Amino acid sequence: MRKKTEHEGWECVGELMLIADKMSGLHHTLYEIRNCERLQQLDDIVTDLKNAFKDSLDMLNNINTDIEWETVCEDED
């Protein structure tokens, strides 16, 4: 299925921005893991990661990947 959009980026698939925001929200947790710091409780880290991944997976599963997005520009007169 083909759909037209005025967006040149992925704004036409709003779930992608929500997922990116959710993953960005893990920055502090990922920083702590990568830099071998121990500031949070392990249970909190695992819970944060599980929730972010579950929510993101749910959103990804709802994206219709059969759509082919075509960018169209309004005619400027």
| Residue ranges per structural domain of the chain | 2-67
What is the DSSP-derived secondary structure letter of residue 69? E
pLDDT digits (tens, 9 = 90+) for 25-66: 999 999 999 998 899 999 999 999 999 999 999 999 999 999
Name the pTM for this structure. Answer: 0.72
- Within 8 A by CB and 6+ apart from 51, the residues are none
Q: Give the three-state DSSP class for 53.
A: helix
pLDDT at residue 9 greater than cutoff 90: no
pLDDT at residue 6 greater than cutoff 90: no
pLDDT at residue 74 greater than cutoff 80: no
pLDDT at residue 8 greater than cutoff 90: no
